[in-house]
Amino acid sequence: MTFVGFSYLDGVPTGGNDLLLIGALMGVGAVLGIAVGVFTWMRRADGHILIKAGVVSAALWAVGMGARLGFQL
């Protein structure tokens, strides 16, 4: 995983304000990820773990994925 991480991050431009933009977007992604986790419920039933994402969780996930797609395009 470390090798892949360094290989992936090797092509990330760090000149000018690029590093600041990358850091800010990573922070936004982390906040969205944590918020999705907060609004996802887990419970145990009959020896199984059930996970249910609520409307807020699904909406935040869609916003995050839409933002990633928009940034790529």
Summarize pLDDT for 42-56 with one digit per residue, the tens: 999 999 999 998 899
Percent of the chain residues topping a pLDDT of 90: 47
Q: In this structure, is residue 11 part of a structural domain?
A: no
Q: In this structure, is residue 68 part of a structural domain?
A: yes
The total number of structural domains in the chain stands at: 1
Rounded CA-CA distance 30/25 in Å is 9
Q: In this structure, is residue 69 part of a structural domain?
A: yes
Rounded CA-CA distance 57/67 in Å is 15
Q: In this structure, is residue 53 part of a structural domain?
A: yes
Q: What range defines the domain where residue 69 resides?
A: 32-73
pLDDT by residue (tens digit) across 28-40? 999 999 999 999 9
Average pLDDT of span 20-28: 87
Contact 41, 54 (CB under 8 A): yes
Q: In this structure, is residue 27 part of a structural domain?
A: no
